[in-house]
Amino acid sequence: MDWQLSVFRLGMLLCVIGAFVAVTQFDIIDSAVAVWNHNPSTQEAAAANDAALEAKRTCLSAEKKSRIKEYPSGCYPADTAFKGLTRDKALANVERFLVFALILMTGTILVVMLGIRMARESRV
């Protein structure tokens, strides 16, 4: 009975630590938003960033050749690059979270079953 109590206590501690890890290490909100918004993949985001940089470079070189302006703000659009989590990273994050949550739930159920079994044995 003594080893079962040690296993039960260790299992409860691991379940609490696992729940804490699940809450802190997986960015589920941003991942869900990225999946819901159909964000571009990593390759599409990189291509969009490269295109924005090339457009900015072209605009600056054209502005450099023209007469001098005091505030060349026409070459700096407000939203030049993709911001946020890419779709493939978001899906991988959600998948890792679900696998971890499944393992945590299985462990919690096993620890609870061990606790119930120990409680029944101690009544006898």
Tell me the pLDDT tens digit for each residue of 101-110: 999 999 999 9
67/73: higher pLDDT: 67
Q: Are residues 32 and 93 in the same domain?
A: yes
- Mean pLDDT for 24-28 is 86
The chain-wide mean pLDDT, for the chain, equals: 82
Q: 29: buried, middle or exposed (CB in 10 Å: 19+, 13-18, 0-12)?
A: exposed
User: pLDDT band at residue 18, thresholds of 50, 70 and 90?
Assistant: very high
Which residue range is the domain that position 10 belongs to? 1-39+85-124
Residue 80, pLDDT > 60, answer: no
Q: Are residues 67 and 9 in the same domain?
A: no
Task: Find, among 114, 119, 93, 122, the residue nearest to 4 by Cα.
Answer: 114
Whether the pLDDT of residue 71 is over 80: the answer is no
Q: Identify residue 12 by its one-letter amino acid code.
A: M
Residue 44 and residue 32 share a domain: no
Q: What is the pTM of this model?
A: 0.68
Residue-level pLDDT at 13? 93
Looking at the structure, do residues 35 and 4 belong to the same domain, yes or no?
yes
Question: What confidence score (pLDDT) does residue 58 get?
Answer: 82
Q: Taking the CB of residue 111, how many other CB atoms lie within 10 A of it? A: 19
Least confident interval from 4-8, 12-16, 34-38, 60-64 = 60-64
